[in-house]
Structure formats: structure tokens, C-alpha cells
């Protein structure tokens, strides 16, 4: 009897486990989106093609990527939307929006390339070499050497052409884009050359000298475009030159991000918000004794920076103040691991060029001058990271901001 009772208990437990498994399986199937394998397959295919077509200026790459987007969009549009579950409809809408947006981006990039093509008509020579290598086609070293020699001579002619006073100069933004593209083409050519050099004796014999000549011409041409057509030093890493995409492209971007405003409406909103900010600045300015001259008050605030080397201590104390304020007012529960686990690092001078104020999360990156910066750069960093500005930023980046939110 005892054995029978035990067996019945085991059977009951097994039946209950089986029932739970069936219910769980039903819930999983109910929540499974038929779009998921389609999207995952597309993601894998697109990543593979991005890795395969390493020549960014290749028309073969553009055509193949666009074909992928077009084919996937056609598959999605062939689905019966009405038969999809609400979750699947969300996936379908987001996926098709993404594909249409990417197609529009490819068209915009093709247009941008066409604008700078007069400056880099040799791009196809380089991308064809790389595409041929990727397809594992047999190479003719003598023919490749002739291509490299022609490339070097073409670049020489282009530099002479655009050096002429009578030459039509490109827009500065287009020239800057072309300079960046030439730098990329130089890397593509090197990747192509390094695949064969040293492994194929005949290739090395034919191509070593013309490759070095072409590589040097690309380097000098990139510097020529930067200095003569863009108008900045070849090694200038600080000057920012925008590349406007135009109103139509901007509207397309806004639509893709589901922002229901035109550029003009956004500017109107920004002006209203700025007016509110200016009014608040005047309030603070009066409290500091500068009346409505908030710019003088702001200048006063910017001069309150701590000496070099003391910024980490300031950030530490501000972080502790934030935690103490939350604890005192019982505003939010702070896990012990959150108090313990945040860290501080100093931001490199290179990164401060694009992120002049400190960043944060689990690790707060402190922006402050280093000894190698110019005097102007040092003063900009000191003024922009004064205690008053840092006060709100520390709370935003650490606790109760990004660090606490991540947990």
C-alpha cells in the first residue's frame, strides 16, 4: 500500500508538471511572433553582407544591400496584415519602416557620393580591386600593377586640375566628405594589397613599387583636399565641419523617428523653450547681483572652477551629496551594490574633443584639462566643468540618474 501510494503521488506530481509544461508552451506559442525569425534572418544576412562588401564606395555593395532591403520589404508586404496578432503587427510596422528608411538612406548616400565623385573618380578602380578579391577571382599581377600605376597618375592629374585658379571649386562640405572618403579608400587599397603581398611572389614583384606610389599619392591627395579645398590643416582634429542633409532628408529622418513635427515647428518650439530658459537665467542673475545681465552672471559662474587635479574630489563629494539627499528625504531606495559599485575615470583629451563635459553611468568619466592641451582648450574645459554645472550633471549621470536606473 505504501508503494502504491508513493506511485500515485509520483504520478500526480508528473501530471501536474506535464500540465504546467503544456500551459507554459501554450503561453510561449501565444507570444511568439511570426516576424521574429524573418527579422533575425534579415539581421544575420545584412551583417554578413556588411562584412563581405568592405569597399564602402563599391556600387556592387550598394546594389546588393538595396536588393536585400527590397526583397525583405516585398516579403513583408506580401504577408496578410489582418491575420497578424497585435504583437506581430507592431513587429511588421517597425520592420517595414526600418527597411524603407534604410532604402532612403542608401539613396541619400548615393547622391552624396555623386556630389563628390568629380573629386574621386578613381574610387571605382579601388573598389573593383577589393570586390574582385572578395569574390576570390584569380588576379593578374601585371594588370593589377598597371591599374595601380594609372591610379597614381590620375590622382596627380586631379591635384593639378583643382590647383588651377580656373577650376570650379567644390563646396567645402563636399570636399570635407571627399577627404574622409579618400582616407577610407587608402585603407581599402591597403587591405587589398596586404592580402597578396608576400604570399604571391609574382604579385609582389609587379605591384610593390606601384602600390607604394599609389598609396603615397592617396595620402598627399587627402592632405591637398583638406588644406586647399576644405581650408583646414591636414592634421586638424578639432574643427567641426557639418554636412547638411537637406530639408527632405531631415523630414524623412523625423518621420522615421516618429517625431510629428516639421523642422520649422521644432525651431519654434526651441525658441519658446529658450525664452523660458532665458527668463529663468535672469532670475538667477538677479540673485547673484547682476540684474538682467545673465551673460555676466554666467561668466561669473564659469570662473568658479576648481584647480587642476581637484575635480575628482569635487565629483566624489557631489555624488555623496546626492545620495545623502535621497536618503534624508526617503525619495528612492538605493541598493547597497549601487552605492558601492560606481567608479570614476578621467576622460582622455581626444574624447574631450567630442564630449567636453563628463559622461556617466556605472563609471563616471570626468572631463578636465590635461597638461598637453593648449591654453584655450584648458580654459574651455575648466569653465565648462565648473562646480555649478557639475552639480546637476553628477546627479544625472550617477545616482539617482543613469547608474541607479541601470540597476
Q: Which sign, positive or negative, has the C-alpha torsion 397, 400, 405, 407?
A: positive
pLDDT, residue 24, reads 44
H or E element that contains 304: none
pLDDT, residue 406, reads 65
- Among residues 65, 87, 69, 66, the alpha carbon closest in space to that of 77 is found at 69
- Among residues 342, 352, 337, 355, the alpha carbon closest in space to that of 401 is found at 342
Cell of 109: 548616400
Cell of 64: 546588393
The torsion of the CA quartet 89, 90, 96, 101, rounded to 10 degrees, works out to 160
Task: Return d(Cα 76, Cα 170) in angstroms, integer.
Answer: 42
Cell of 71: 526583397
Contact 364, 358 (CB under 8 A): yes
pLDDT, residue 13, reads 47
Contact 366, 315 (CB under 8 A): yes
Cell of 185: 579608400
Contacts of 281 (CB under 8 A, 6+ apart): 294, 297, 298
Contacts of 315 (CB under 8 A, 6+ apart): 344, 358, 364, 366, 390, 394
Contact 123, 185 (CB under 8 A): yes
What helix, strand, coil percent values describe the chain, rounded to 5? 70, 0, 25
- Among residues 230, 209, 222, 231, the alpha carbon closest in space to that of 122 is found at 222
pLDDT, residue 220, reads 97
Helix 86-116 and helix 35-52, axial crossing angle in degrees, nearest 10: 20
pLDDT, residue 235, reads 85
Cell of 161: 586640375
pLDDT, residue 60, reads 97
Q: Give this prediction's pTM.
A: 0.75
DSSP conformational letter for 139: -
For the chain of 407 residues, list the mean pLDDT of each consecutive stretch of 10: 41 48 44 89 97 95 98 96 95 96 95 96 97 97 98 97 92 96 97 97 97 98 96 85 91 94 96 97 96 96 94 95 94 91 92 86 92 92 93 90 77
pLDDT, residue 357, reads 86
Residues, the chain, total? 407
Amino acid at each position: 500500500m505504501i508503494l502504491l501510494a508513493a506511485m500515485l503521488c509520483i504520478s500526480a506530481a508528473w501530471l501536474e508538471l506535464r500540465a504546467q509544461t503544456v500551459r507554459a508552451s501554450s503561453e510561449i506559442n501565444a507570444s511568439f511572433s511570426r516576424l521574429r525569425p524573418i527579422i533575425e534572418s534579415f539581421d544575420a544576412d545584412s551583417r554578413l553582407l556588411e562584412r563581405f562588401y568592405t569597399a564602402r564606395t563599391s556600387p556592387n555593395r550598394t546594389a546588393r544591400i538595396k536588393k536585400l532591403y527590397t526583397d525583405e520589404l516585398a516579403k513583408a508586404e506580401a504577408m496578410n496584415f489582418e491575420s497578424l496578432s497585435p504583437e506581430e503587427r507592431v513587429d511588421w510596422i517597425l520592420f517595414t519602416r526600418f527597411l524603407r528608411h534604410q532604402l532612403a538612406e542608401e539613396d541619400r548616400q548615393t547622391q552624396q557620393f555623386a556630389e563628390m565623385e568629380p573629386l574621386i573618380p578613381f574610387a571605382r578602380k579601388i573598389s573593383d580591386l577589393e570586390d574582385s578579391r572578395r569574390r576570390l577571382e584569380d588576379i593578374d599581377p601585371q594588370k593589377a600593377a598597371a591599374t595601380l600605376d594609372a591610379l597614381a597618375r590620375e590622382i596627380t592629374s586631379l591635384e593639378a586640375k583643382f590647383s588651377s585658379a580656373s577650376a570650379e571649386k567644390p563646396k567645402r562640405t563636399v570636399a570635407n566628405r571627399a577627404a574622409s572618403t579618400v582616407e577610407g579608400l587608402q585603407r581599402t587599397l591597403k587591405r587589398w594589397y596586404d592580402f597578396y603581398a608576400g604570399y604571391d611572389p609574382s604579385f609582389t614583384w609587379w605591384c610593390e613599387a606601384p602600390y607604394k606610389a599609389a598609396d603615397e599619392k592617396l595620402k598627399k591627395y587627402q592632405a591637398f583636399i583638406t588644406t586647399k579645398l576644405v581650408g583646414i590643416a591636414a592634421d586638424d582634429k578639432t574643427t567641426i565641419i557639418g554636412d547638411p542633409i537637406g530639408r527632405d532628408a531631415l523630414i524623412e529622418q523625423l518621420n522615421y523617428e516618429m517625431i510629428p513635427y516639421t523642422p520649422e515647428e521644432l525651431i519654434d518650439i526651441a525658441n519658446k523653450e529658450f525664452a523660458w530658459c532665458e527668463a529663468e537665467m535672469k532670475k538667477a542673475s538677479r540673485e547673484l547681483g547682476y540684474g538682467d545681465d545673465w551673460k555676466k552672471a554666467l561668466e561669473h559662474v564659469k570662473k568658479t572652477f576648481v584647480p587642476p587635479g581637484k575635480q575628482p574630489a569635487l565629483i566624489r563629494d557631489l555624488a555623496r551629496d546626492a545620495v545623502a539627499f535621497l536618503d534624508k528625504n526617503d525619495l528612492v531606495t538605493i541598493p547597497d551594490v549601487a552605492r558601492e559599485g560606481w567608479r570614476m575615470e578621467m576622460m582622455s583629451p581626444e574624447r574631450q574633443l567630442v564630449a567636453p563635459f563628463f559622461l556617466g553611468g556605472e563609471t563616471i568619466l570626468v572631463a578636465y584639462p590635461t597638461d598637453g592641451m593648449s591654453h584655450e582648450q584648458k580654459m574651455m574645459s575648466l569653465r565648462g566643468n565648473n562646480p555649478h554645472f557639475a552639480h546637476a550633471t553628477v546627479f544625472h549621470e550617477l545616482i539617482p540618474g543613469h547608474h541607479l536606473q541601470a540597476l
